[in-house]
Amino acid sequence: MSALDFLVELGTEELPPKALNTLAEAFLAGIDKGLQAAGLNYESKTVYAAPRRLAVLITALATQQPDRSINLDGPPRQAAFDAEGNPTQAALGFAKKCGVELSEIDQSGPKLRYSQSIAGKATASLLPTIVEDSLNDLPIPKRMRWGARKEEFVRPTQWLVMLLGDQVIDCTILAQKAGRDSRGHRFHHPENVRIGSPSSYLADLRAAYVLADANERREIISKRTEELATRQEGTAIVPPALLDEVTALVEWPVPLVCSFEERFLDVPQEALITTMQDNQKYFCLLDADGKLLPRFITVANIESKDPQQIIAGNEKVVRPRLTDAEFFFKQDKKQKLEDFNLRLQNVVFQEKLGSVYDKAERVSRLAAYIAARIGGNASWAARAGLLSKCDLSTEMVGEFPEMQGVAGYYYALNDGEPEDVALALNEQYMPRGAGAELPTTLTGAAVAIADKLDTLVGIFGVGMLPTGSKDPYALRRAALGVLRILIDKKLDLDLTDAVAFAVNSFGSKVKAAGLADSVLEFIFDRLRARYEDEGVDVATYLSVRALKPGSALDFDQRVQAVEAFRKLPEAAALAAVNKRVSNLLSKLEGSMPTTVEAKYFDNAAEFSLYSAIQQADQAVQPMAATRQYSESLARLAALREPVDAFFEAVMVNAEDAKVRANRYALLARLRGLFLGVADISLLG
């Protein structure tokens, strides 16, 4: 079967840069889906995307659809005809479904059957529908019309290229009649560009100053930006999302170095970087110490004979933005950071929980409580908590919301606050996402935990629990943040006590009954997903969860110990024994016997197990005190032999009540040893 290359290019006004990659990939996926549904084979597929075009190249596409046969089974013969041999509604309905007369249906078998051979169509006749369907299915939230046309697309369309081999496919899509003429660069080559064949597409456009391959443009921008930054003795900040956006803004990328006045460096560099990246799409430069250089890189869409004019234009454009940041910074510094708290008294945190200032006061008290228990400075934590929300009412954060916390850090330093207090104002928001940076100071950790626990307790306390699709206060992220800080920084905080403290701080604003338990359950439930992501078996998590440790660090240490224990050869047998013992003890009527008396032993296996339990108890007690859980379980693994021997030789439910009670007490001692770490019975 013969094959030809196929090219489709839809030309438009400038496409949304942040959506360009998504549109391109969806366009390719839609065409691929259509080709597969039609049974058309090909060798490879490639998508190209630039500001004014979406294109797909399919190599070695079959020029003819293969013949197909359709076989449809209908109702059984006895259901298709009545006793007189007349067709029933079932038979007539099947014929109608097949689009034929009943006489054309095969009635010789046990069921009615319709078979049809369908000749394959020419690929050229199928491609217009495939392309149109793909364009209609693009993920475009809001489509637009232009002029008096009824067609809708993300941007007005301007031209359409559709070639199968050297031939143009005759069709009209989105008001554009297909041809072989594309368009070159708006300024370097505004004339039409004749596409000779699908395989010459990139070269034909390159001659017209258009790099249609987004990957090529991205590589040029990335490499050239790095070279220019090195010449400036700096390093460029190139966030992947910004690089993609800039790539989607230019057809012929030309990176250039620009500069701004050094006086602006007195402004927090985070604000300068934010405005240059978000508003101007510039790549900022840092020196070897991570400090902002008074230079940046812009990516022009033109190869100018006088690039200095482009540089001067960008420097002129950025100056007002930097001046705004400078103005806000100077205005904010005219008063103490703490004074901004007054404004927060009129800002509602949550209607039933009071103002943002009320929250800051609660966070202050809770942070001091936490800091005292994790080895931090309680007075610093209290101070940081009180100042924690002040910068939300500053001019800087009002203009640059991304500066919350960062602005507070600079203003606190300006006021002479301790370094740890200033850092905590930014670290309170950490971690800002999965795998993101954690607080570096104990003061920051205390405030971060306090802020998150206060939100969890408060929102739970007014009944606004997150649902499967809604979590407006980001409670899941808050819980995960608390756990990450405590576990990854190895901070031993009893969350049971901390949550109880937080509940008391709200007073009558929340429904306290059962609130602490609900919050703790929600927090520790987040650990399940964390461990699953790490490859920890859910049974391990549940074995520790059954004991309800109050410390996240303690919880994690137990989980790691159980995971190590499960790799021991004795683990499976001891888990089964624990399960058996748990079942036996759960069926015991009356109070649990607690005292083991050797005088009631009548079997050597009982003496052996009792002796082994006593020795193990003495060995693991100091381990438990220092949370050496792995060592403890490894030591308890040695109980397997005396335990096995006991169950082989001893009937637990002896007829003598005192002997039976003694054996139950012995098994309770055995189970208690393991429960010092986890409920091993849940591993079986």
d(CA 602, CA 610): 12
pLDDT value of residue 246: 98
Give me the count of residues in the chain.
Answer: 684
pLDDT value of residue 151: 87
| Residue 190, preceding peptide bond in cis (omega within 30° of 0) | no
| pTM higher than 0.85 | no
The token duo for 242 is: 């910004």
pLDDT along the chain (684 residues), means of 10: 93 96 97 94 96 97 86 86 86 87 84 84 94 95 85 94 96 96 95 96 97 98 97 96 97 97 95 94 96 97 95 96 95 95 93 95 97 97 97 94 95 96 97 91 98 96 86 92 96 96 94 94 93 92 94 95 90 86 78 79 87 91 89 90 87 84 87 90 82
pLDDT value of residue 451: 98
Beta bridge partners of 87: 81
Listed in sequence order, the residues at least 6 apart from 70 whose beta carbon sits closer than 8 Å to its beta carbon are 114, 115, 116, 117, 118
What letter does residue 260 receive in the DSSP assignment? -
pLDDT value of residue 586: 80
Cα–chain center distance at 667 = 46
CA distances in angstroms from 483 to 487, 527, 552, 679, listed in the order given: 6, 8, 6, 22
* Half-sphere exposure (Cβ direction) of 474: Cα atoms closer than 13 Å: 12
The token duo for 118 is: 């369908």
What letter does residue 290 receive in the DSSP assignment? S
d(CA 135, CA 617): 72
pLDDT value of residue 583: 83
Domains, the chain, in order of start with CATH, read 3-65+122-206 (3.30.70.260), 68-118 (no CATH), 214-332 (no CATH), 350-535 (1.10.3210), 559-683 (1.10.730)
pLDDT value of residue 199: 96
The token duo for 530 is: 């964390």
d(CA 267, CA 399): 14
Phi, psi angles (nearest 5°) of residue 623? -65, -45
pLDDT value of residue 146: 85
pLDDT value of residue 60: 96
Pair type for strands 3-12 and 53-62: antiparallel
